Structure 1
Amino acid sequence: MASSNDSIKKTIIVALSLCLVCSIFVAAAAVGLKPIQNTNKDLDRKRNILSAAGMLESGKSVDEIFETVETRIVNLQTGAFATEEEMKEAGINVATFNQQAAAKDPNLSIALKAEEDPASIKRRANFSAVYLVKSGDTIERIILPVHGYGLWSTMYGFMALQSDFNTVLGFGFYDQAETPGLGGEVDNPNWKALWKDKKVYNDEGEAVIQLAKGGVDSSDPKAMYKVDGLSGATLTSRGVTHLVQYWLGKDGFGPFLSQLRSEGVQ
């Protein structure tokens, strides 16, 4: 009996020792790989920004191309570029600013009521990074981060606009978990290509760009504001419409883009 007890005790000790050793190795690997993970995450962000703007080039690295992109912080409460004082007060570093994290911080975001939240984001950060491609002092392209809820997931993407701040240059999602073959078609290059040259704002300055159920009728006088909906994915299509109208509208980048159009860039 004693021998049996010793055997069980030894087995438990060995098992616990192995667990401890494995956990140490796993923790060490996680810490050691963290810088690489962060580098890859940043590279992926840059690649998606450049992809939305149609700037990826064969033979050039992402970092090399991204050197032509200027990152700025926008104060969504004022509709203007954030001042140094505002960023200092908010503790914002342009290079490391994380809008998703800021949206969860009550000090850096606002809670949205249901009637204010068509994109179902619940909280909106007070500041956002935007990405500018300039020629001298003139903005040739601007890339804006957008997100909102589809059927199953929050979809995160970038929309690029031409220098009139109204015509879509490119649009795509980099993070979504919609139904493959249905809502997941937001990743389809053919569908993303349909956004190019569409208009965001009508003559009254309202963000009216939307997905059209059943496809766009070319004879429709409002066809310039419409993109083919996703077949069999009504809720995802509705989510895309809501999120682009929200972020390009009066509670998102609308006031900022309107200021750029009327006053130019400083």
Structure 2
Amino acid sequence: MSANNDSFIKTIIVAVSLCLVCSVLVSTTAVSLKDQQTANASLDKKKNILVAANLFKPDTDIEQAFANIERKFVDIETGRFVSVDNPATFNQRQNAKDPATSIKIEDDIAKIKRRSKVASVYLVRDGAKVETIILPIRGSGLFSTLYGFIALKSDKQTIVGLKFYEHGETPGLGGEVDNPNWLALWPGKQLLDNNGKPVLKLVKGGGNGNSEVDALSGATMTTNGIRNMLKYWMGDDAFGPFLAKLDVNTGDA
């Protein structure tokens, strides 16, 4: 009986020791890779911004190309540029979860519940003049929240490009938001009218008009989600005031 007890105790000791060793190894690996993971996430974000602005090619040096893009911070309510305490660590997604740095959305057509009071926007300039405006957007599809960037020409109406970088939509259906052939339909389309109001439509089996894009086949909920998120983010409760105030000749807002 004693031998059995000794064997049992030894088994427990070995199991606990193995768990402790594995925990230390996993923790050490996670900590050691954190900086690399953060750097990779930053590089991927920059790439997606470049894609939206139609400035990315397979041989593009991402850091070098992104150096020509200016990041600014906008108070969404006023549409004015503001400064933030720590620009390098500013996280719009995290801010949207904190009641102190976000607001509850009343007319929540994008189904995101809250938004950050301040947003990052990105400008491509030719000297002082703004050539391209890149705006972050997000909204609910069928199964997930879609996160992306939309880029506009200096007329503040015409789409330069669209890129979604994170979502959980159904592969082959709503997941076609990643399809380069579908994304290629967006550049040159009119998103806003002369009064800054959203006019772009997603049309089933069509999309030949100046303000029309072919809807995603078999993905009605995802298509509706994209339409609603664009309507929200380009509207008066989001980037509408900023676009109205932005002087593309000077870059001031």
TM-score (norm 1): 0.91
Question: SS of the counterpart of 2:49?
Answer: helix
Tell me the equivalent position of 2:47: 47
Tell me the equivalent position of 1:245: 231
> Any idea what the Cα deviations from partners look like across 1:59-113, whole Å, max 9, x if unmatched?
441001111011000110101111x3xx3xxxx4222211100100111100123
* Pairing of 1:100-179 with structure 2 (within 5 A): 100-113=93-106, 116-179=107-170
- Checking the alignment, whether the CA contact within 8 Å between 1:150 and 1:237 is kept in structure 2 is yes
- Rounded to whole Å, the distance in 2 between the matches of 1:60 and 1:189 is 17
Tell me the equivalent position of 2:77: 77
Q: How many residues align?
A: 252
- Checking the alignment, whether the CA contact within 8 Å between 2:152 and 2:160 is kept in structure 1 is yes
Moved over 6 A (4+): none
- Checking the alignment, whether the CA contact within 8 Å between 2:73 and 2:119 is kept in structure 1 is yes
| Cα distance, 1:79–1:72 mapped onto 2, change above 3 Å | same
Tell me the equivalent position of 1:37: 37
Query: Unpaired runs of 5+ in structure 1?
Result: none
- Rounded to whole Å, the distance in 1 between the matches of 2:187 and 2:193 is 17
* Pairing of 1:176-191 with structure 2 (within 5 A): 176-191=167-182
Tell me the equivalent position of 1:2: 2
- Rounded to whole Å, the distance in 1 between the matches of 2:151 and 2:250 is 18
Question: SS of the counterpart of 2:90?
Answer: coil
Tell me the equivalent position of 1:235: 221
| Cα distance, 1:158–1:65 mapped onto 2, change above 3 Å | same
- Rounded to whole Å, the distance in 1 between the matches of 2:165 and 2:60 is 21
Greater displacement, 93-102 / 21-30: 93-102
For residue 196 of structure 1, report the CA deviation from its aligned partner.
Answer: 0.6
Question: SS of the counterpart of 2:198?
Answer: coil
Question: SS of the counterpart of 1:24?
Answer: helix
Query: Unpaired runs of 5+ in structure 2?
Result: none
> Any idea what the Cα deviations from partners look like across 1:131-157, whole Å, max 9, x if unmatched?
111011100111111000000000000
For residue 207 of structure 1, report the CA deviation from its aligned partner.
Answer: 1.3
When the two chains are superposed, the root-mean-square deviation of aligned CA atoms in Å is 1.4
- Checking the alignment, whether the CA contact within 8 Å between 2:128 and 2:250 is kept in structure 1 is no
Question: SS of the counterpart of 2:135?
Answer: strand
Q: Which amino acid aligns with 1:14?
A: V
Q: Which amino acid aligns with 1:51?
A: V
- Checking the alignment, whether the CA contact within 8 Å between 2:136 and 2:148 is kept in structure 1 is yes
Tell me the equivalent position of 1:201: 192
- Rounded to whole Å, the distance in 1 between the matches of 2:91 and 2:100 is 14
| Cα distance, 1:69–1:10 mapped onto 2, change above 3 Å | same
Question: SS of the counterpart of 1:242?
Answer: helix
- Rounded to whole Å, the distance in 1 between the matches of 2:136 and 2:117 is 14
For residue 14 of structure 1, report the CA deviation from its aligned partner.
Answer: 0.3
Query: Whose helix proportion is higher, 1 or 2?
Result: 1
- Checking the alignment, whether the CA contact within 8 Å between 2:157 and 2:194 is kept in structure 1 is no
- Checking the alignment, whether the CA contact within 8 Å between 1:53 and 1:169 is kept in structure 2 is yes
Q: Would you say 1:258 and 2:244 are equivalent positions?
A: yes
| Cα distance, 1:139–1:203 mapped onto 2, change above 3 Å | closer
Question: SS of the counterpart of 1:71?
Answer: strand
